[in-house]
Chain A
Amino acid sequence: MKRINRFRHLSRFALAAIPAMVALPALADSISYHNAFERRVSETGDRASLDNFVVEAARRGQYDQALSTLEEIIFRTPNDLGARLALARIYYQIADYDTAAAHLEQALLTPGWEDFAKEIEELKARVERGQRGLEIRMAVSAGGAYENTTQKIGLSGPNDSEELTSPYGSIEGVIIRDLQTATRDEIRFGGALLYGRSLGDPDFIGSLSAFDAKAGHFNITFSKGLPDIIDTLRLDVGGYGRFQTYGGGRDLQEYGAETVVSVQPTVESQIKANLGYGWLGNSHGLYSDRRMRAGLTGDLRIAPGVAVGAHVSGYYDWGTTPRAFTDGSFDFNAHGVEVGASVSHLLHVFADGRSWVHEAGVRYSRERILDYTSVTSLGSPNADLADREAWEIFWDHTVQIATHVELGFGVSYGEEKLTDTVFPSVDRSGETWGARAGLTYRFN
């Protein structure tokens, strides 16, 4: 218990330190950007001042300022391939494929272009896909994870502690078809497959065991801009399918429909609301038939390279068990709500432009779930529901070690409590330490 309290204090300290960790570099960035702009204007035509402001503006995401300054550099020195390619890249980032293509054409007419042939070719292929209205992204990840879980039965019962070191892998991708409309309407096909091993209590017998955690999802989404209502309003509607194994013969198979409404109140912020309804009839051992999900997510960029986000999400299940509840009914409702927040920070940019981003966050959930032991155990007279409460903190890092390769690593700590159970189930609590490291290759 002492150990748990110590972790609580540490996590509170870590969360309190995050604002200071973010505020100081943000203030320094702001001063440096302001100075760079002053020099860019007062030292007319000075190349070092122009270059410096391009770097500062692009780092802060002020693409319009970076582009106008790069245009001035090209205006003065039309054969500068470094500036020409930076222009093409940023026009590509803002999806102005025509202008990016025009600059790449000029790059190929510039003496010395052969030194940049590979990069020009790669960017040209992406720009041409953009002009055709096709964007494809795919990523493959593999690595190893460590998990240490301790579970305590009842108030003074025995501890069950298990460690697990296992490999994980995932593949995910999305194909975006731009419908070439003024409001940037598009159709997205996405999917992912994941494999790992996890520790849990899949049999609800109070003892931990490792199981294969396989998961996957696919979706098709139509996304429509509705800017004549609110200029950044978007409506996404689509269908999805997902599966996940939970061990102990239980698995989820869900098919449903979801809608997402998003808006950017300012250029630095975004709000999303989602509502989904799914059918779980083909699942095994879950007893839930239908599920409704809803959520609200907000994201705000508070300083250059620093974003904070928060979410609240919930679900509501309708299900039927083979064993009756105390009121004689076989039907039940399970439900839960989760709140969370995180801060993401562009920690470092290497000399060649590679990035190191880290994200720290916390989440807390509270659920009323089916007590599976009460349904499956011969010793249980009735089906019953139980309360589950959980929280977790995490700290993840993504270091770009090559243009297409990322090293991801992170740590997490969480606690979980199951209460309001009835015999033969017992109340229990647990804590889990996790760490993982792996490589991701991005094909984009």
Chain B
Amino acid sequence: MHAATTIRGFAIAALVTAGAVLPQAAQAEGVGTLTAEKATISRGGSRMAAGSAVSLGDRLASNASGSGVIVFEDESSARMGPNAVLTIDEFVYDPARRNGKIRLRQTSGLARIYGGQISKRGSSEVRTPHIVLGVRGGIVDLAVIGNQSIATLRGGLMVCKVGKKKRTVTKPGMSCISDGQTLEIRHIANNGRQMVTPANQGQGAPGGGGNYGGAHCASAAATAMCNSRDGGLPRPGTHTGNGTDMGNPSGGYDDYPKR
């Protein structure tokens, strides 16, 4: 009896110790990398350099001229624009299943979130003080300015939640606008241009640059099969069923192209 109590005591002590230590260990774990930075992105008041690891629980902030790119382990990324404050609240990723959960919090400024493997299979969520966004296989711009948040779909699919209100947007360019009470969906002309890096007119090496011919859908020869809608991957798909020719009294399948 005494031995059993002792074992139980050890077990409880071990659980308490593990409970105290594990969250710290998890928080210290790198979940991504800041791959690009322009003056300045900071963490805890210290400026970060490109190549710095980003950990669970980190709160990253850009100043009025700052911008940067964070790439997470599941290949999702966040492009921070001016005055953005972004916290990584949750990140669980199983590379074998390419699934998991990611939850970010943006409390101010501009940012563009690119979904990774988690957003295609698992739960991908971004919270602002006014709105909760679910992202599926897509790209979303978020602007948290003053007393409202504007989430604009750039590709794929997003679900906007404000209290009990929920709207799903599948049309790129449409925005969810909320002050925390109301939820409005509309197109805002010229929205998102702040996130487009301007050409450096008259500076740097002119023209040319990257050649992406090896990827059909990124090349000038891209065809309609490259279209991707509602967060679905582009094709090729199959034409199964397109050549059905039943009910043809002459019999046989026709050879001229229906496929």
Residue in contact with A307 in the complex, picked from B50, B120, B236, CB distance below 8 Å: B236
Most A CB atoms within 10 A — which of B208, B231, B235, B253? B253
Q: Which residue of A lies closest to B190 (CB)?
A: A98
In the complex the two chains form, what is the Cα distance from A54 to B217 in whole Å?
Answer: 11
Query: A93 contacts B201, CB within 8 Å?
Result: no
Query: B206 contacts A79, CB within 8 Å?
Result: yes
Provide the residues of chain A in CB contact with B115, threshold 8 Å. 64
Interface of B, helix, strand, loop or mixed by DSSP: loop
Query: B159 contacts A299, CB within 8 Å?
Result: no
Query: A75 contacts B69, CB within 8 Å?
Result: yes
Most A CB atoms within 10 A — which of B119, B155, B215? B215
Provide the residues of chain A in CB contact with B224, threshold 8 Å. 137, 442, 444
Q: Is A363 an interface residue (CB 8 A)?
A: yes
- The interface bits of chain B over 205-247 (1 if a CB of A lies within 8 angstroms of the residue's CB, else 0) are 1111111111111111111111111111111111111011011
Query: B255 contacts A106, CB within 8 Å?
Result: no
Q: Is B172 an interface residue (CB 8 A)?
A: yes
Q: Can you offer 30 A-B residue contacts whose CB atoms are under 8 A?
A: A41-B33, A44-B33, A54-B218, A58-B217, A62-B233, A68-B71, A71-B69, A71-B79, A96-B139, A97-B172, A97-B173, A107-B199, A109-B199, A110-B207, A112-B208, A184-B230, A195-B256, A202-B250, A225-B170, A246-B248, A247-B250, A268-B233, A309-B240, A310-B240, A315-B246, A342-B238, A351-B214, A359-B238, A359-B239, A438-B257
Residue in contact with A232 in the complex, picked from B139, B157, B246, CB distance below 8 Å: B157
Query: B169 contacts A182, CB within 8 Å?
Result: yes
Query: B185 contacts A182, CB within 8 Å?
Result: yes
Interface size class of B (residues with CB under 8 A): 35 or more
Provide the residues of chain A in CB contact with B200, threshold 8 Å. 78-79
Give B233 Cβ to nearest chain A Cβ, in Å: 4
Provide the residues of chain A in CB contact with B253, threshold 8 Å. 390, 392, 412, 414, 432, 434
Give A35 Cβ to nearest chain B Cβ, in Å: 13
Extra contacts, 12 of them, besides A232-B170, A338-B244 (Cβ < 8 A), are: A57-B215, A63-B217, A76-B36, A85-B220, A86-B210, A103-B196, A228-B168, A297-B241, A352-B213, A370-B249, A392-B253, A410-B259
In the complex the two chains form, what is the Cα distance from A268 to B233 in whole Å?
Answer: 6
Provide the residues of chain B in CB contact with A311, threshold 8 Å. 240-241, 244
**Which residue numbers of B lie inside 8 Å of A, CB to CB?**
33, 35-36, 38, 50-51, 67, 69, 71, 75-77, 79, 112, 114-116, 119-121, 136-139, 154-157, 159, 166-174, 185, 187, 190-193, 196-241, 243-244, 246-259
Q: Which residue of B lies closest to A304 (CB)?
A: B233
Residue in contact with B258 in the complex, picked from A67, A83, A194, A342, CB distance below 8 Å: A194
Provide the residues of chain B in CB contact with A44, threshold 8 Å. 33, 35-36, 50-51
Query: A94 contacts B197, CB within 8 Å?
Result: no
Q: Which residue of B lies closest to A83 (CB)?
A: B210
Q: Which residue of A lies closest to B202 (CB)?
A: A111
Q: Is A213 an interface residue (CB 8 A)?
A: yes
Query: B209 contacts A81, CB within 8 Å?
Result: yes
Q: Is A355 an interface residue (CB 8 A)?
A: yes
Residue in contact with B215 in the complex, picked from A228, A301, A353, CB distance below 8 Å: A353
Most A CB atoms within 10 A — which of B185, B210, B255? B255
Stretch at the interface among A8-16, A141-149, A377-385: A141-149
Query: B155 contacts A106, CB within 8 Å?
Result: no
Residue in contact with B207 in the complex, picked from A55, A113, A355, CB distance below 8 Å: A113
Given A58-B215, A89-B218, CB of A416 within 8 Å of CB of B232: no
Give B156 Cβ to nearest chain A Cβ, in Å: 7
Query: B211 contacts A361, CB within 8 Å?
Result: no
